[in-house]
């Protein structure tokens, strides 16, 4: 599915890195029990992943030729 959006192998790797870092940082800095922290981290990671995919797909589609 990500191939249809124009994401190559490097973009997919960066997507996983962004999601993991955001999820980990959010889980560490959030308040609550460990289960609440994990749920908050997973949700934040998923949201950041969606934003990353949309922004990367738009950049790949509309970027100038000299990039």
Does pTM top 0.75 for this prediction? yes
Domain presence at residue 16: yes
Domain presence at residue 66: no
pLDDT in tens, 2-57: 667 778 889 899 999 999 999 999 999 999 999 999 999 999 999 999 999 999 98
pLDDT of 1 strictly over 70: no
Domain presence at residue 67: no
Q: Please state, in angstroms and as integers, the Cα–Cα distance from residue 8 to each residue in 5, 15, 51, following that order.
A: 9, 11, 17
User: How many domains does the chain contain in total?
Assistant: 1
Domain presence at residue 28: yes
Q: What is the model's pLDDT at position 20?
A: 96
**Domain region containing 28:** 2-61
Q: What is the model's pLDDT at position 61?
A: 85
Domain presence at residue 8: yes
Do residues 56 and 7 make contact, with C-beta atoms less than 8 angstroms apart?
yes
Domain presence at residue 32: yes
Q: What is the model's pLDDT at position 2?
A: 65
């Amino acid at each position: 599915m990500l191939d249809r959006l124009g994401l190559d192998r490097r973009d997919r790797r960066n997507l996983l890195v962004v999601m993991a870092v955001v999820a980990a940082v959010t889980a560490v800095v959030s308040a609550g029990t460990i289960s609440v922290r994990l749920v908050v981290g997973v949700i934040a990671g998923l949201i950041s992943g969606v934003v990353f995919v949309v922004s990367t797909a738009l950049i790949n589609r509309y970027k100038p030729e000299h990039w």
